[in-house]
């Protein structure tokens, strides 16, 4: 997969590139090769296996690998789990190599490879997206990931994070030391909502002013008679939402606030109140 290693792991690669540029053949290749945002460094197979495990890849997923190199991530997913997928890379040599590798692995009917700029790639069909890029490229892609991928889509990055967008999970690959980061695309809930809670003592209505920072939620709720409560412990995992009104953490017993859990569906939400789910609630976006 296309990538760059941290400095101490890439000195040998830099030396090789420098030498080839000064040779006659290397200079010709440098003039004819497409400009690459990220140099090619294959991802070790043990890292590939752990990336797919972290993303919990299944047969019904559609995996897109941005900067796919020799195609080993989509090919491994297809071979091991029956997953359909696509890889994109700007280097035609790598694309041809990927197609040949897919044929050898007998998964050519499940994967495709395109000679294409990753910034021009349609990503909205992905349920899993993998990448081994650079911090700068990750940040350039970040707005598209949040706006174009569906809530619940899993994004896995090898070695590089996304600055203040904290991962939902971060692991180190055993016996390799690589960092792997997992993000689950959150639903968009920022704004004002009208919440109706149905309970044994009748219905109550609240106006929620939600502030969203990636998968974290905060804000205030205004209820009957103008009384207000803080929204605490708010979190999104895909389209699943949890939060509390008043003191306490969503999903944690013992708090003094009301605990809400539910599902976001576009401009609506619905779920249960309390750890026992004694009452139902719904909300619509204002």
CATH number for the domain spanning 99: value is 3.40.50.150
Whether 3 has a pLDDT exceeding 60, the answer reads: no
> 14 lies in which domain range?
7-184
- Are both 178 and 81 inside the same structural domain? yes
Tokens matching residue 32: 């004819």
**Contact between residue 85 and residue 111 where contact means Cβ atoms under 8 Å apart:** yes
156-169 per-position pLDDT tens digit: 999 999 999 999 99
The residue whose two tokens read 């207000």 is 228
Which domain-ending residue is among 134, 156, 184? 184
pLDDT for position 38: 66
- Are both 105 and 159 inside the same structural domain? yes
Which domain-ending residue is among 184, 202, 218? 184
CATH number for the domain spanning 255: value is 2.40.128.120
Q: What does the alpha-carbon distance between residue 163 and residue 63 come to, in Å, rounded to a whole number? A: 24
**Total number of domains constituting the chain:** 2
9-19 per-position pLDDT tens digit: 332 322 222 22
Q: Calculate mean pLDDT across residues 110-134.
A: 97
Its pTM stands at 0.83
- Are both 127 and 15 inside the same structural domain? yes
- Short-list 135, 146, 142, 124, CA closest to 64: 124
End-to-end CA distance of the chain: 44
- Short-list 209, 218, 254, 256, CA closest to 236: 218
Task: List the single range of 160-164, 272-276, 279-283 with lowest mean pLDDT.
Answer: 272-276
- Are both 160 and 276 inside the same structural domain? no
């Amino acid at each position: 997969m296309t990538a760059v290693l941290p400095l101490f792991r890439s000195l040998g690669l830099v030396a090789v590139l420098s030498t080839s540029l000064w040779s006659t053949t290397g200079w010709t290749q440098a003039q004819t090769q497409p400009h690459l945002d990220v140099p090619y460094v294959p991802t070790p197979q043990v890292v590939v296996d752990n990336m797919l495990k972290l993303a919990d890849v299944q047969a019904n997923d559609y995996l897109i690998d941005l900067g796919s190199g020799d195609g080993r991530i989509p090919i491994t997913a297809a071979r091991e789990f029956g997953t359909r997928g696509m890889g994109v890379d700007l280097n035609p040599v790598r694309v041809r190599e990927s197609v040949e590798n897919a044929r050898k692995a007998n998964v050519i009917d499940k994967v495709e490879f395109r000679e294409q700029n990753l910034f021009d790639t349609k990503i909205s069909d992905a349920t899993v997206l993998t990448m081994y890029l650079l911090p700068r490229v990750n940040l350039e892609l970040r707005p598209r990931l949040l706006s174009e991928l569906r809530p619940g889509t899993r994004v896995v990055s090898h070695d590089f994070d996304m600055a203040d967008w904290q991962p939902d999970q971060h692991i180190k690959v055993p016996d390799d030391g690589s960092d792997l980061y997992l993000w689950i695309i959150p639903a968009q809930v920022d704004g004002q909502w009208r919440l109706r809670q149905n309970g044994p003592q009748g219905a109550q209505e609240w106006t929620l002013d939600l502030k969203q920072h990636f998968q974290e939620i905060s804000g205030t709720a205004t209820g009957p008679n103008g009384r207000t409560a803080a929204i605490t412990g708010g979190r999104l995992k895909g389209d699943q939402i949890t939060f509390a009104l008043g003191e306490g953490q969503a999903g944690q017993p013992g708090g003094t606030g009301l605990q809400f859990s539910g599902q976001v569906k576009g401009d609506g939400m619905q779920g249960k109140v309390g750890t026992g789910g004694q009452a139902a609630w719904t909300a619509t976006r204002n």
